Amino acid sequence: MTTAAPLAVSIRAYGPLNDFLPAHRRQVAWTHVVDRRAAVKDVLESAGIPHPEIDLILVNGASVPFDHAVEPGDRIAVFPRFRALDIESTTRVRVPPPALVRFVADVHLGKLARRLRLVGLDTAYDAGAGDADLAARAGRGDRILLTRDRALLKRSVVAHGYFVRETSAHRQLVEVLRRFGPLELHPFSRCLRCNGELRDVEKSSVEAALLPRTREYYDRFRLCAGCGQVYWQGSHWQRLARAVDAVARELE
């Protein structure tokens, strides 16, 4: 029984895709060897680049889809999302974006999920969700998977996803808003606990659930349609408002 000979290709990654490569492979072309004839998607992911981060692949100067079979000696150039250049007629890997920008965050990004909800962005989060569940939600095409798990992002069913580079929740929020913006934000329109939509309610309808000092000093309330959480503009609200203002200034 014979085995396939190793297949050597040249790869050059551009822009933020270099974040997934070791230092000696960044911003240069290098030789990558695989042990079989493979699809270009598999070749690039074996080099460390998750497919949802890719917006354009050129093989020997021609745009190709993910399932393009590479040949020995191919020259592969791989590009991230273009922000200032329209490549719609050129790329053969881009999946049509969701009609609405909605996210699903992995279990390690709970603080980011809370901040995305704070600025009004629909963000699903379940601390008990497994990788298969998260990938399936992203695979349906209606939510963008946010993760710091490269293996999760490489799952073939993931249609839209993004590897969050920053580690602090505030910086992560700014990063995501820049990556997918400009977005129309509606701060304090979603429940931080469950992602449900908030609506204004009369004080009398929630008065029984309020603590005495809250009942005495506050008159304007919002109620989550999902979990019933009550919100009012106390000191905690004001602290969150300052956080929203800080993000807005960074995005200017």
Is the link from the previous residue into 182 a cis peptide, with omega within 30 of 0? yes
What does the pLDDT look like over 107-116, one tens digit per residue?
999 999 999 9
* Number of neighbouring beta carbons within 10 Å of residue 148: 16
Q: What is the pLDDT, as a whole number, of residue 115?
A: 96
Structure token digits, residue 143: 């939510």
- Report yes or no on 63 lying in a domain: yes
Q: What is the pLDDT, as a whole number, of residue 96?
A: 78
Residues 115 and 160 in one domain: yes
Residues 168 and 224 in one domain: no
Mean pLDDT is lowest, of 1-10, 59-68, 129-138, 240-249, for: 1-10
What does the pLDDT average to over 41-62?
95
What band does 186 get if pLDDT is binned at 50, 70 and 90? very high
Three-state secondary structure call for residue 186: coil
What are the DSSP calls for 67-120, one per residue?
Answer: TPBP-TT-EEEEE---SSS--TTT-SSPPPPPSS--EEE-TT-HHHHHHHHHTT
Q: What is the pLDDT, as a whole number, of residue 145?
A: 97
The dihedral formed by the CA atoms of 203, 206, 209 and 215, expressed in degrees to the nearest 10 = 0
What does the pLDDT look like over 13-33, one tens digit per residue?
999 999 999 999 999 999 999
Residues 112 and 47 in one domain: no
Using alpha carbons only, give the angle 11, 16, 21 rounded to the nearest 5 degrees: 50
Structure token digits, residue 5: 């000979």
- Report yes or no on 212 lying in a domain: yes
- Report yes or no on 36 lying in a domain: yes
What does the pLDDT look like over 190-230, one tens digit per residue?
999 999 999 999 999 998 888 888 888 889 999 999 999 99
- Report yes or no on 95 lying in a domain: no
- Report yes or no on 239 lying in a domain: yes
Q: What is the pLDDT, as a whole number, of residue 1?
A: 45
What does the pLDDT look like over 134-156, one tens digit per residue?
999 888 868 999 999 999 999 99
Number of structural domains in the chain: 3
What does the pLDDT average to over 92-98?
79
- Report yes or no on 221 lying in a domain: yes
* Distance separating alpha carbons of residues 139 and 112, to the nearest angstrom: 21
Task: For residue 138, give the nearest of 151, 124, 149, 148 by alpha carbon.
Answer: 124
What band does 3 get if pLDDT is binned at 50, 70 and 90? low
Residues 17 and 48 in one domain: yes
Residues 154 and 208 in one domain: no
Has residue 2 got a pLDDT over 70?
Answer: no
pTM of the full predicted structure?
0.89
Residues 56 and 113 in one domain: no
Has residue 73 got a pLDDT over 90?
Answer: yes
Looking at the DSSP bridge assignments, the partners of residue 34 are 7
Q: Contact, 7 vs 34, CB < 8 A?
A: yes
- Report yes or no on 192 lying in a domain: no
Range of the domain at 169: 103-180
pLDDT above 90 coverage of the chain, percent: 69
CATH number for 74: 3.10.20.30
